[in-house]
Chain A
Amino acid sequence: MDAADALILARIQFGLNIAFHILFPSLTIGLAWFLVYFRAKYARTREAGWLETYMLWTKVFALTFAMGVVTGIVMSFQFGTNWPGFMLKVGNIAGPLLAYEVLAAFFLEATFLGVMLYGMNRVPAWLHVAATVLVAVGTTMSAFWILALNSWMQTPAGYKFADGQLIASSWLAVIFNPSFPYQFTHMMLASGLTSSFVVAGLSAWRLLKAPADSIALRALRTGALVAAVIAPLQIFVGDLHGLNTLEHQPAKIAAIEGLWKTEKGAPLVLFAIPNEERRRNDFALEIPKGAALILKHDAEGELKGLEAFEPDRPPVAPVFWSFRVMVGLGFAMLAFAWLGLWLLRGRAQPARWLLWTFAGFTFSGWIATLAGWMVAEIGRQPWLVYGILRTADAAGGISGAQLGASLTGYVVTYGVMFVAYMVVLTHLAAKGSTHVAPNAAVAKAGA
């Protein structure tokens, strides 16, 4: 097995792990704020229904969080095992950002999570509310630091060279690099959308099993409302993010648009099959001048095509397709969130088809988020750190045989984990929250 195969295996393994990992934080970051809302509602109204909602979603959160922790531990090791060149070249910048993620966030979550999950009857109410807020702050901080690192890899800034390595010349410039504000906001909103559709979808699932569950109906409304608010914001922020990418990573934009040649007044390609060999699109369906209008706000604006970046350009098809999946889902989520919210208004018994559709949309946020990350990460290729370090130069050390053996182990483990997670999630959702009345919880604790 040669080095090229080992590189592919290293990328597959890392990509698989990071894709599997991101599912869980993308849900917990948003869900944590839902919990704050449910907990605050209970603190204000003392109404048992809010407590039951809180308890149910706390379980979902805990389960998801645990999945995130264990897959996150794998990440912290794979930076070193799969990409030793990454740490050698940019370790002086990537290391501290990762360290801050662990320090400021991981512990905050993991420790206050204990109080939040198990401490309701053991600590004063204010401390329990505070713990819930701190867990949400912790998950957001965690995302802040890891996105500081990822956005820095997209648009490096604030560094200088010393002995062939990079060191920081300004940490503020490193953290608040050009793409950071866009990427961070985009990911936060993505998590908000993901979690609101999960809350709405699983509540709809419960209502299909138990149509009289008024608590589930209220959670469904909450989820739909949050989704309806966030979806348009996300599309707006996504557009700003795209313009930022055009400025700093034009090759990624060319791949997204399927634009092979530099041209004025480039069309917006709605559908096509990018042909890498012949460097053109087959079966293209285009809107004339569309891309120039969207990206340059000028029908005759010039956009650089992929030819301008050869050979340092990403593979087109995966970026092109992932982008269309993300945007298509984004608009579908917007349309359905508004329609769903409208149809839910004032109804005690929503139509079954509406519940089924909400249930169908449960994991739409996951798919859109994964597609978005594919655009960001594959679109950055062949660079690992844009313009500074190539992915191929960062790999090494591990033989293809070892990678293959461990990859098999990871695939089997992730498969088991994913199936188990989904089965328990639907089991929890179908069972609903009705059995965890506060008095019962207290009685249990005193037993």
Chain B
Amino acid sequence: MSLDLPLVFAVLMGMAILAYVVLDGYDLGVGMLMPAASDDEQDVMVASIGPFWDANETWLVLGVGLLLVAFPAAHGVILGALYLPVAAMLIGLMLRGVGYELRAKAEGWHAELWNWLFWFGSFLASLAQGFMLGRTITGFEPGVGYVLFSLIVAGGLCGGYVLLGATWLVGRTEGALQRKALVWARWGLLWVAFGIALVSLATPLASETVRSKWFDFPRMLAPMLLPFATAALWLWTWRTTRRIEHGEQASEWAPFAGAVAIYVCAFAGIAYSLFPYVVMDRLTIWQAAAHPSSLRFVLAGVLVVLPFLIGYTILAYRVFRGKARAGLYH
């Protein structure tokens, strides 16, 4: 069989992680925006992600699962190096899940406590994920500088999630809350611009491998399209929020689409920087891959299940399209 199985799994894992970041990203973002809204608005915000957040989080399990299955050697190295941020993320995800469910099921009983848990958990999980991303890009190098870098990435990712969450709310809500969300979206855009700019400048400084990939002529020409595409998308997204605000002709989902596109570009940039390493500068995907017999067995399952998965994910989003209202999903 001439199929490059480790490469196939690297692509699948990348797709699962991208799906996770975009999908759970918007509901984490909504969670982080909770304190900025009034009580009634919070009910609507929570309702807007009700049918989705469970399924969104399972993409994380799929991403980690693929890492575990396809690259067992890397799984131990990565999760060992990221042990504490992983624990922080997991605790954050648990707290927000519990906060969310109890808020919905207890119907207003102790609502402030559940709100707080939901916000805190969302924030902790987002920060931890950004920190993990920063550590991964730099190959888990020790040193204060690298930790600082990871903290910057953590802040940047929070901004990115806020952008996704705010633009999601623009699409899912109406009236005063939608107008608030438009303002949040622009704050998110500014935050993201700052984050991406810092990371783009700092990553080549922090990593020799990344530097040579992005700045060696002529192979830099193709990837250099990415920063320009990102900038263009950023401007377009900013403009659509203005157009919706002024009641001009524009789809209410355009800002969310723009935010997702920005994520795809940023993700492509990171993937390009890392590839073919699964542990930066240490393990390539081929070195870390599991035995072909295992990869083939899993691939068969993935190919059978994936179409269904995508199919009913689309179904779920179709069924629950439209504007969210408080109490709708109780």
A residues contacting B by CB (< 8 A) are 59, 62-63, 65-67, 69-74, 76-77, 79-81, 84, 87-88, 91-93, 95-96, 98-100, 102-104, 106-107, 110-115, 117-119, 122-123, 162, 165, 167-168, 171, 397-398, 402, 405-406, 409-410, 413, 416-417, 420-421, 424, 427-428, 444-445, 447
Contact = CB atoms under 8 A, between A and B. Distances in A.
B293 A102 contact: no
Interface string B35-67: 000000000000000111011011011101110
Given A65-B54, A80-B79, A444-B328, A99 B66 contact: yes
Contacts of B319: 114-115, 119, 122-123
Interface string B300-330: 0110010001001101100110000101111
A103 B305 contact: yes
Nearest to B76: A84
A107 B305 contact: yes
A188 to B, nearest CB: 22
Contacts of B98: 66-67, 70, 416-417, 420-421
B182 interface: no
Chain B contact-residue range equals: 35 or more
A81 B60 CA distance: 16
Given A63-B105, A92-B294, A99-B69, 14 more contacts: A66-B54, A72-B61, A73-B94, A80-B75, A80-B76, A92-B291, A118-B50, A119-B51, A406-B84, A413-B95, A417-B98, A421-B98, A421-B102, A424-B105
Contacts, number: 204
Chain B interface, >50% SS class: helix
Chain A interface, >50% SS class: helix
Interface in B226-275: none
26 contacts: A63-B105, A74-B94, A77-B79, A80-B75, A81-B80, A84-B76, A96-B297, A98-B68, A98-B69, A100-B298, A100-B301, A103-B305, A107-B55, A110-B54, A114-B55, A118-B51, A119-B51, A162-B291, A402-B84, A405-B84, A409-B87, A410-B91, A417-B94, A417-B98, A420-B98, A447-B325
B101 interface: yes
B91 A413 contact: yes
A273 to B, nearest CB: 38
Nearest to A417: B98
A406 B327 contact: no
A93 B294 contact: yes
A409 B87 CA distance: 8
Contact of B91 (A80, A84, A409): A409
Contacts of B327: 444, 447
Given A107-B309, A167-B293, A417-B94, A88 B65 contact: no
B79 A81 contact: yes
B72 interface: yes
Interface string B92-118: 011101101110011001000000000
A99 B54 CA distance: 18
Contacts of A100: 298, 301
A77 B328 CA distance: 34
Contacts of B297: 96, 168, 171
A70 B316 CA distance: 21
B288 to A, nearest CB: 11
B83 interface: yes
5 A-B pairs with the lowest CB-CB distances in the bound complex, closest first: A91-B72, A84-B76, A95-B69, A406-B87, A114-B51
Given A112-B312, A118-B320, A424-B102, A102 B90 contact: no
Nearest to A104: B305
Contacts of B60: 73
A113 B52 CA distance: 9
B86 interface: yes
Contacts of B329: 117-118
B190 interface: no
B80 A424 contact: no
A417 to B, nearest CB: 5
Contact of B76 (A70, A74, A87, A165): A87
B320 A114 contact: yes
A167 B294 contact: yes
Contact of A103 (B90, B294, B301): B301
Contacts of A74: 90, 94
Contacts of A405: 84
A73 B95 CA distance: 13
Contact of A398 (B80, B91, B301): B80
B283 interface: no
A410 B54 contact: no
A306 to B, nearest CB: 34
Contacts of B51: 114-115, 117-119
Contact of B65 (A99, A117, A118, A167): A99
B73 interface: yes
A88 B83 CA distance: 18
B193 interface: no
A420 B102 contact: yes
B86 A102 contact: no
User: Which of B72, B88, B329 neighbours the largest number of chain A CB atoms within 10 Å of its CB?
Assistant: B72
A88 B291 CA distance: 11
B72 A107 contact: no
Contact of A106 (B61, B75, B312, B313): B61
A24 to B, nearest CB: 11
B290 interface: yes
Nearest to B306: A103
Given A95-B68, A95-B294, A88 B86 contact: no
A410 B97 contact: no
Nearest to A116: B51
Nearest to A444: B327
B101 A84 contact: no
Contacts of A73: 57, 60-61, 90, 93-94
Contact of A168 (B87, B106, B294, B301): B294
Contact of B290 (A66, A70, A95, A444): A95
